[in-house]
Amino acid sequence: MKKVIIYDPALCCPTGLCGVNIDPELMRIAVVVETLKRKGIIIERYNLRDNPQVYVDNKVINEFLMKEGAEKLPVTTLDGEIVIKGTYPTNKQIAEWVGVAEEDLTVKKKSCCCC
- Do residues 4 and 76 lie in contact, with contact meaning Cβ atoms separated by under 8 Å? yes
For CA atoms 32, 91, 81, 61, the dihedral sign is negative
Angle between helices 91-98 and 24-38 (to 10 degrees): 20
Closest CA to 15 of 5, 29, 4: 29
pLDDT digits (tens, 9 = 90+) for 21-71: 667 888 899 999 999 999 899 999 999 999 999 999 999 999 999 999 999
Whole-model pTM: value is 0.84
pLDDT digits (tens, 9 = 90+) for 98-108: 999 998 887 65
**Four-point Cα dihedral 75, 90, 102, 17, nearest 10:** 70
